[in-house]
A and B are shown apart, each in its own frame.
Chain A
Amino acid sequence: MAGDPYAVPAVPQAPDGSVAPGAAGVPDKPPSTGADGDGGDTLVSITDLKVHFPITSGVIVQRKVGAVRAVDGLSFDVLRGETLGLVGESGCGKSTTGRAILQLEKLTAGQVFYEGADLARLHGGALRRQRRRMQMIFQDPYASLNSRMSLGHIVGEPLLVHNLRPRGEREDRVKELLNLVGINPNTINRYPHEFSGGQRQRIGIARALAVEPNFIVCDEPISALDVSIRAQIINLLQALQRSFGLTYLFIAHDLSVVRHISDRVAVMYLGRIVELAANHELYGEPFHPYTQALLSAVPIPDPLVEERRRPVVLAGDVPSPASPPSGCHFHTRCPAAQKGLCDVDDPVLREIRPGHFAACHLVSAADYPKIRSAEDRAAAAGTAAAGQTTPGGDAS
């Protein structure tokens, strides 16, 4: 915060014995906060999760010529009853992560433990029984409901599949669920096209709740909805969490919404987690340069704030996950990147402060890079050496 008018900080990286922990491709230590150990507060535990999609070439004989590393070595825990926000730009692998946790994508490597059980080892009936505890709410309420099924069928199907209620009670249960999410229970014989986007999302939520899950992956549940409807759905999700003790993995790109709903937040970039911390920590004092840039780029709906806001404009685009940059994946766009370090060594997700993890060489408990906008750098340079110092000897 105060002082330190340099854009590029000194690198007090030496004390913690360089990059020991993840050296030989060993997975990063799984970041779980507080009550550690197996079980305890942890509901879902993810260890070195990798999902690579093959790139093939050839018409008849498909040869594998490469891989899109959508998710490339994630380790984190989801604690019981919390909302863990997962943010990042499109293509960073956040949706794939959500799907992989529910075993909707085949894992290339790594494990997903749900209440201690390794999901990747379960098949058929055993997996289906576990899946009952885990559900998903999808982004697009237009694509995620079968348009040829009535509401009663859509919401009632999970009951049937998992054989949850006796036949006679199913309709009552469906009505109860619809009521719960704010849909008139008398519409049970209607079809999805008769409902608006917000209502459909409510129906999708009712379907997810039908099997009484503990854990729900919410994949961009509000980004397809109108502004005035978003708050309704967010409030509904929070109310349901309170009444049923649900645990959410909330995947979104909207940083304001994630801040509103999450207890802890993980930031992803190119298939990796670059920072993970409690909500107030991450938004209050982001360590990783990427997190800082992301947060500064969010427009605030207030012209007076906007006048003063100086976003860090990152140069360039997100590189392709098929050929991620060497070393730190972010070094090509990072204003603080150091030659010979960041483009060579792959930073490991380390616990900088209790519960606050970051994957950056330049971050230590004592200091971290403070990324600033071009205007701020120019202003600092102007005051420092009243003459015509060229701004930004560090970046671009």
Chain B
Amino acid sequence: MSAQGDNLLKVTDLAVTFDSQEGEVHAVDGVSFAIAPGETVGLVGESGCGKSISALAILGLVRMMSNSTIGGSVEFMGRDLLALPEREVRRVRGRDMAMIFQDPVTSLNPVLSIERQMTEGIENHLGVSHSDAVKRSIELLETVGIPKAAERLHDYPHQFSGGMRQRVMIAIALSCNPKLLLADEPTTALDVTIQAQILHLMKQLSRDYGAAIMLITHDLGVVAGMTERILVMYAGRIVESATAKELFGHPHHPYTVGLLRSVPRLDEPRKLTLQSIEGLPPDLAHLPPGCAFAPRCVLRTEQCRLERPELTPTTPGRLSACFHSDKLMATAVV
């Protein structure tokens, strides 16, 4: 983050607002972060915290939604994607920046063969002939571990299982050697043993291809093993940013503490009761004036109710949006 020119992606003050019947919904509210080439970053949060919308905004897909307004900038390889015309963004999307979505059932087109869906992007982005694109597709399918790739290429999505479909999605995402891979809950729809396969594959491929990965998930276990740096989102804002080891070892935001404590762990002795975060996630159309987490926070004071804490440095390289981070820093461990 220190050296400005090194960033592959630099998101500054990203804000996405939707008009709804209940008024303006601030789905993403001033999010800033950067990703270096080859870095793996986790974006963690619960449903409705704005993590998926952030990814869609980065991909330039939010502006297609009619009731949205988008602010800030998304600088990717030196160009602000939000300022570019759609035609230009389309050259980047799917090529330098690729995505894997949560649900491999709905993200593949059911009436097109895998061949058609794979070669389309390769031909358009790399300008190669169809037969070369087919060759590359077969290679890619083999890379992601699909047996009899040349035969399976003619199949349709329904002929693949969930795990296999996600492999196809990964193959499509990798087809143009992306610099950045946005993976939105890539294993949430999959079973544990299949999840292990896919995570293993993603790790291997990010190493081989040198692509940066932004992994969006609610699963703390998945980010712990997959990412170097983690951003925690709550109610449209980043509330904590740290390396994975720092964050899990010693969180500086009470929401992160709550999340970590509320999950039972296989490697720890059983507890009688889980420590839960009380209350409910806030309604994004009616956010409290102060800290959005304050109503559920054990450390809240009068200040939290009135003022909104900014994301500020706590220790070198770490950020937390809490007035009471110093109290958490003083205590020993989670």
Report A's interface with B, CB cutoff 8 A.
Answer: 89-90, 196, 198-199, 226-232, 234-235, 238, 253, 255-257, 259-260, 279, 283, 293-307, 309, 311-314, 317-318
B72 to nearest A CB, angstroms? 26
Point out the residue from B219, B264, B280 that lies within 8 Å of A257, measured CB to CB: B264
| B196 x A311 contact (CB < 8 A) | yes
A307 to B227, CA, bound (A): 11
- Binary flags per residue of B210-232, CB closer than 8 Å to A gives 1, else 0: 00000000111110110000000
| A228 x B276 contact (CB < 8 A) | yes
| B280 x A229 contact (CB < 8 A) | yes
With both beta carbons as reference points, the residue of chain A lying nearest to B163 in the complex is identified as A317
Helix, strand, loop or mixed for chain A's interface?
Answer: helix
Residues facing A in B227-262 (CB within 8 A) are 244-245, 248-249, 258-260, 262
| B274 x A227 contact (CB < 8 A) | no
| A89 x B192 contact (CB < 8 A) | yes
With both beta carbons as reference points, the residue of chain B lying nearest to A238 in the complex is identified as B273
Q: Does B277 contact A (CB under 8 A)?
A: yes
B153 to nearest A CB, angstroms? 19
Listed by A's residue number, 6 A-B pairs whose Cβ atoms lie within 8 Å are: A228-B262, A235-B274, A259-B264, A259-B266, A297-B192, A303-B224
A96 to nearest B CB, angstroms? 16
* Chain B residues, Cβ within 8 Å of A232: 276-278
| A256 x B263 contact (CB < 8 A) | yes
Point out the residue from A226, A238, A306, A314 that lies within 8 Å of B196, measured CB to CB: A314
| B222 x A299 contact (CB < 8 A) | yes
| A299 x B191 contact (CB < 8 A) | no
* Chain B residues, Cβ within 8 Å of A89: 191-194
* Chain B residues, Cβ within 8 Å of A307: 225
* Chain A residues, Cβ within 8 Å of B275: 231
| A227 x B196 contact (CB < 8 A) | no
| A226 x B46 contact (CB < 8 A) | yes
Using A232-B276, A300-B267 as known contacts, say yes or no to A313 and B163 having CB atoms under 8 A apart: no
Q: Does B164 contact A (CB under 8 A)?
A: yes
Q: Does B87 contact A (CB under 8 A)?
A: no
A60 to B284, CA, bound (A): 52
Question: 12 other contacts beyond A234-B274, A304-B245, with CB at 8 A cut-off?
Answer: A198-B280, A226-B46, A227-B259, A228-B277, A231-B263, A259-B264, A294-B193, A299-B219, A299-B224, A300-B224, A301-B220, A313-B193
With both beta carbons as reference points, the residue of chain A lying nearest to B160 in the complex is identified as A317
Point out the residue from B161, B191, B263, B266 that lies within 8 Å of A227, measured CB to CB: B263
A43 to B161, CA, bound (A): 38
Q: Does B265 contact A (CB under 8 A)?
A: yes
A259 to B264, CA, bound (A): 8
- Binary flags per residue of B193-217, CB closer than 8 Å to A gives 1, else 0: 1111101100000000000000000
Residues facing A in B161-177 (CB within 8 A) are 161, 163-164
Which of A259, A294, A302 has most B Cβ within 10 Å?
A: A302
| B225 x A303 contact (CB < 8 A) | yes
| A259 x B193 contact (CB < 8 A) | no
Among all A-B residue pairs, the 8 with the closest Cβ atoms: A299-B221, A306-B225, A231-B276, A301-B220, A231-B262, A89-B191, A260-B264, A297-B196
With both beta carbons as reference points, the residue of chain B lying nearest to A297 in the complex is identified as B196
B243 to nearest A CB, angstroms? 8
A231 to B248, CA, bound (A): 18
* Chain B residues, Cβ within 8 Å of A311: 196, 200
A371 to nearest B CB, angstroms? 12
A106 to nearest B CB, angstroms? 27
Q: Does B281 contact A (CB under 8 A)?
A: yes
A155 to B113, CA, bound (A): 49
* Chain A residues, Cβ within 8 Å of B148: none
A287 to B293, CA, bound (A): 44
